Amino acid sequence: MSAPDYPPPRYHGEQGHTHTHLRRADQPPDITYPNGVRVTYLARGSETSGDFGLYRWDFSPEPSGPGPHFHRGISESFFVLSGRVRLYSGDRWIDGTAGDFMHVPPGGLHGFRNESGEPASMLLMFTPGAPRESYFETLLKLRDGSLELTEPELDAFGERHDNWT
| Residues 6-63 pLDDT 10s | 989 999 999 998 889 999 999 999 999 999 999 999 999 999 999 999 999 999 999 9
Assess contact for 110 and 66: CB atoms under 8 A.
no
Which residues fall within 8 angstroms of residue 104, CB to CB, at 6 or more apart?
Answer: 70, 75, 76, 77, 78, 90, 110
User: How many Å apart are CA 65 and CA 164, to the nearest integer?
Assistant: 15
Q: Is the pLDDT of residue 1 over 80?
A: no
Residue 123 has pLDDT above 90, yes or no: yes
Q: What is the pLDDT of residues 69-105, one digit of tens each?
A: 999 999 999 999 999 999 999 999 999 999 999 999 9
| Domains present along the chain, CATH in parentheses | 45-144 (2.60.120.10)
**Phi-psi domain of 115 (left: phi exceeds 0; alpha: psi -120 through 50; beta: other):** alpha
If you average pLDDT over every residue of the chain, what do you get? Answer: 96
Quote the pTM value.
0.92
Q: What is the pLDDT of residue 2?
A: 80
